[in-house]
Amino acid sequence: MDKLIYLDNNATTKVDEKVLEEMLPYLKEEYANPSSMYDFAKKSSNALKVARRQVQEFVGAENEKEIIFTSCGSESANTAIKGVLANNKTKRHIITTAVEHPCVLNLYKQYEKQGYKVDYIGVNAQGELNLDELKDKITDETALVSVMWANNETGIIFPVEKIAEIVKEKNPHTTFYVDAVQAAGKIPMNVKNTKIDMIGISGHKFHAPKGIGALYVKSGTIISPLINGGHQERGRRAGTENVPYIVGLGKAAELALNSLDYELKEVKRLRDKLEQGIVKNIFNARLNTAPTNRVPNTTNIGFQYIEGELILLHLSDIGICASSGSACTSGSLEPSHVLRAMGIPFTALHGSIRFSLSRFTKEEEIDYVIEKMPQIIEKLNKISPYQDELEALKNLK
């Protein structure tokens, strides 16, 4: 392919060259098991310590012992949720939100089948949670509250620090888990100053490779391990440590922390330019997400009366990678549960496109997308079965 404009960084990111360089020695010559006693293993075990400290700093944890390495964001969520519930079998009430990632929602469906009561807090049109409703639902029976920090489809940020206060005030014994997979590297995180008990992150969302993640567990929070076996990760996650990938995660965390200002200013500027360039120039485009209170790299735009998948195919033809708001479940195209929860009109649901940038996104790439989008949409408008509705919408603008 000649041109590649990658605007799907919430799905995954490219591995930073500096991360790869840091990993390579541990894939080649430094292959010792970090638990071994001989001198040859010292470099591996030291590398683990460095990476743990880098991740500790990245999430703003008090202590490096609070960091557990996992294989991905889904494992972090499963470890946290199953670990808390297995340790607290008498309390069978969970509170979460209607817009969580499937790695959390599908897990809760399993718990419902086992007789747990799960409350799903809804969002308004701006994607905001009803915090009073959340507070009212917390009882003595609530074992766990879990809320994502930033949404993968819309980028909307939930006030997790404030939610942690609400949870602990109402029931200090309730554990609060935060899925921080889409917040990591995009907004500041400083868990030591909060009442959050656990957060999960995933390396491949911030320029580490796929197959590595981490879970922060505040000191004093007890979880049963998901994977039993050896003593690794202080008995909380067995299995010989994946040293090269852990080294990569640590380096990616350090780089992401150093790039945070750039992310908050420059990536946001490019995202806003893209968003405005599309919404202003295309009459049937509408913003599907909150204008503010979002991670800096994400936008979600609905193109009314046309199919998102067709837009993606046309974008792909000219080398542009984005993603549709729909998830392909068991062969049928289901509109996004996140956009539906926000009450996005049916006319825009099916034509929703998420663009997600990174620190590697260039201005000329954004200019190219702004130039090409109106041509693609005009072409698709012509074959839409909703000609009268499109005409009415055009006259309205």
State the nearest-atom distance from the C-beta of 158 to ligand PLP, in Å.
Answer: 11
Quick one: tokens of 211? 């197959």
* Count of positions on this chain that bind ligand PLP (CB under 6 A): 13
Site for ligand PLP in 217-256 (CB under 6 A): none
Quick one: tokens of 264? 């908050």
d(CA 96, CA 118): 7
State the nearest-atom distance from the C-beta of 255 to ligand PLP, in Å.
Answer: 18
* Closer Cβ to ligand PLP, 142 or 152, answer by number: 152
d(CA 155, CA 153): 6
DSSP 3-state percent helix, strand, coil across the chain (nearest 5): 45, 15, 40
> In this chain, which of 85, 166, 178, 181 binds ligand PLP, going by CB under 6 A?
181
Ramachandran angles phi, psi of 367, nearest 5°: -60, -40
Name which of 355, 137, 359, 371 is nearest 261 in CA terms. 359
State the nearest-atom distance from the C-beta of 181 to ligand PLP, in Å.
Answer: 4
* Closer Cβ to ligand PLP, 179 or 233, answer by number: 179
Stretch touching ligand PLP by CB under 6 A, among 67-75, 123-131, 184-192, 372-380? 67-75
Stretch touching ligand PLP by CB under 6 A, among 13-21, 68-76, 159-167, 345-353? 68-76
> In this chain, which of 119, 179, 197, 254 binds ligand PLP, going by CB under 6 A?
179
Q: Is 302 in the site for ligand PLP (CB under 6 A)?
A: no
Is 328 among the residues known to form the active site?
yes
d(CA 35, CA 232): 8
Q: Which residue is nearest to ligand PLP (CB)?
A: 73
Name which of 225, 226, 227, 187 is nearest 205 in CA terms. 187
Non-local (6+) Cβ contacts of 273 within 8 A are 363, 366, 370
d(CA 6, CA 17): 16
* Closer Cβ to ligand PLP, 204 or 236, answer by number: 204
> In this chain, which of 103, 160, 249, 274 binds ligand PLP, going by CB under 6 A?
103
> In this chain, which of 202, 221, 347, 356 binds ligand PLP, going by CB under 6 A?
202
Strand, helix or coil at 325? coil
Site for ligand PLP in 138-177 (CB under 6 A): 148, 152
* Closer Cβ to ligand PLP, 182 or 381, answer by number: 182
Q: Is 109 exposed, middle or buried (0-12, 13-18, 19+ CB in 10 A)?
A: exposed
For strand 352-356 and strand 298-303, is the pairing parallel, antiparallel, or unpaired? antiparallel
d(CA 218, CA 67): 9
Question: Which residues of the shown chain bind ligand PLP in the complex (CB under 6 A)?
Answer: 72-74, 101, 103, 148, 152, 179, 181-182, 202, 204, 213
